[in-house]
């Protein structure tokens, strides 16, 4: 069990695959503990993929005396890459705060970031997003985890996919299971999300970036992702017209992988030609 004392807390991580380093981060969950199947298909065939539990989730501890901010979570990620001696990594942040952590990492530690991928993210919290995220906290606190789970699942998936897969998405141990019985950690993650504001600092990111816009995302759609693309000086924006907050279904996942791997291949080709 790879458990380290990093940046003031016990941090659990895993490395899958082989090749150049890639750091993959999701939102209020983890790719660890058998969840690596959620990674982009084929990624571990080409890269050494580093995944970890955000502080307070699963096997990672937390220090409740420290204010939860996106910069703190980025410092955690930087400490892990430093420990593993994995500089110049492709940083892939998907669906929520994992992408925002990637922004902070690219701003503060450009030596660690070979490329940056963002989807389902934001660089400033407007009133609409603030109220959405805070309401999810209220539902979890006042109505319980299962009510929160159903709310966020309905908001995150294609309606047809939701109706076909409702039995495996909802219930104890299913979607967003890392938050089950763990409201305190969830609330701290939400605090970090609500305070994240990087828009004016993204101009300092030198790494090539891919910003994917999920046109049907009810939470972090183009309204919140387009400002990221505009703020990054070296960004490629791609819109997936039929994508919701979570990429689901074989055909859509294949298209997403084509976009991601096309970008990563172009980054490598550009490095080789330089």
Structure tokens at 209: 């970036």
The pLDDT of residue 1 is 53
Number of folded domains in the chain?
1
Tokens representing residue 130 in the block: 């603030």
Residue 139 lies in a domain: no
Q: What is the mean pLDDT of the chain?
A: 96
pLDDT given at position 192? 98
Q: Convert the pLDDT of each residue in 25-80 to its tens digit.
A: 999 999 999 888 888 889 999 999 999 999 999 999 999 999 999 999 999 999 99
Any idea what DSSP says for residue 167?
A: H
- Please, which pLDDT band fits residue 138 given cuts at 50, 70 and 90? very high
The pLDDT tens digits for 223-240 are 999 999 999 999 999 999
Contact in structure between 23 and 90 (CB atoms under 8 Å): yes
Residue 267, number of CB atoms within 10 A of its CB: 20
Q: Does residue 40 form part of some domain? A: yes
Give the C-alpha separation, 225 to 248, whole Å.
19
Range of the domain at 243: 3-124+198-268
Does residue 274 surpass a pLDDT of 70? no
pLDDT surpassing 90 at residue 220: yes
In angstroms and rounded to an integer, the radius of gyration of the C-alpha atoms of the chain is: 17
The reply to whether 63 falls in a domain is yes
pLDDT score for 270: 84
Question: Is residue 182 a part of any domain in this protein?
Answer: no
Q: Is 17 inside a domain boundary?
A: yes
Element housing 14 (H / E): strand 9-16
* 21: its two tokens: 């380093």
Give the CATH number, domain containing residue 213.
Answer: 3.40.50.1820
> Does any domain span residue 131?
no
What are the two backbone dihedrals, phi and then psi, of residue 5, each rounded to the nearest 5 degrees? Answer: -95, 105
- What is the total residue count of the chain? 274
Residue 168 lies in a domain: no
Residue 154 has phi, psi (to 5 degrees) of -60, -40
pLDDT digits (tens, 9 = 90+) for 97-127: 999 999 999 999 999 999 999 999 999 999 9
Domain annotation covers residue 155? no
Q: pLDDT band for position 244 (50/70/90)?
A: very high
Whole-prediction pTM value? 0.95
Separation between Cα atoms, residue 142 and residue 155, nearest integer Å: 19
- Give pLDDT tens digits for 146-172: 999 999 999 999 999 999 999 999 999
Residues 6+ apart with CB under 8 A from 213: 119, 221, 222, 225, 226, 229, 237, 238, 239, 240
Q: How far apart are CA 245 and CA 156, in angstroms?
A: 5
Predicted local confidence at residue 29, as pLDDT: 93
Q: What's the pLDDT tens digit per position in 68-96?
A: 999 999 999 999 999 999 999 999 998 89
Decide: 114 and 206 in contact? Cβ < 8 Å.
no
């Amino acid at each position: 069990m790879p458990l380290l004392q990093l940046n003031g807390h016990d941090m659990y991580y895993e490395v899958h695959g082989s090749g150049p380093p890639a750091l993959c981060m999701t939102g209020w969950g983890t790719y660890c503990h058998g969840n690596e199947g959620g990674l982009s298909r084929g990624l571990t065939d080409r890269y050494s993929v580093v995944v970890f539990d955000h502080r307070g989730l699963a096997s990672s501890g937390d220090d409740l005396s420290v204010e939860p901010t996106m910069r703190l979570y980025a410092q955690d990620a930087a400490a892990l890459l430093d420990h593993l001696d994995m500089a110049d990594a492709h940083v892939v942040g998907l669906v929520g705060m994992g992408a925002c952590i990637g922004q902070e990492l690219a701003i503060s530690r450009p030596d660690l970031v070979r490329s940056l991928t963002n989807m389902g993210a934001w660089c400033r919290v407007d009133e609409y997003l603030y109220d959405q995220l805070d309401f999810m906290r209220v539902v979890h606190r006042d109505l319980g985890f299962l009510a929160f789970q159903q709310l966020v699942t309905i908001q995150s998936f294609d309606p047809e996919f939701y109706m076909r897969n409702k039995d495996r998405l909802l219930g104890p141990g299913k979607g967003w299971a890392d938050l089950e019985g763990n409201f305190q950690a969830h609330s701290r993650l939400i605090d970090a999300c609500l305070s994240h504001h990087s828009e004016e600092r993204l101009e300092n990111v030198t790494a090539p970036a891919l910003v994917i816009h999920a046109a049907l995302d009810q939470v972090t759609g183009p309204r919140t992702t387009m400002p990221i693309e505009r703020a990054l000086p070296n960004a490629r924006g791609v819109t997936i017209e039929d994508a919701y907050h979570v990429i689901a279904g074989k055909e859509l996942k294949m298209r997403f992988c084509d976009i991601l791997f096309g970008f990563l291949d172009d980054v490598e080709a550009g490095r080789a030609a330089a």
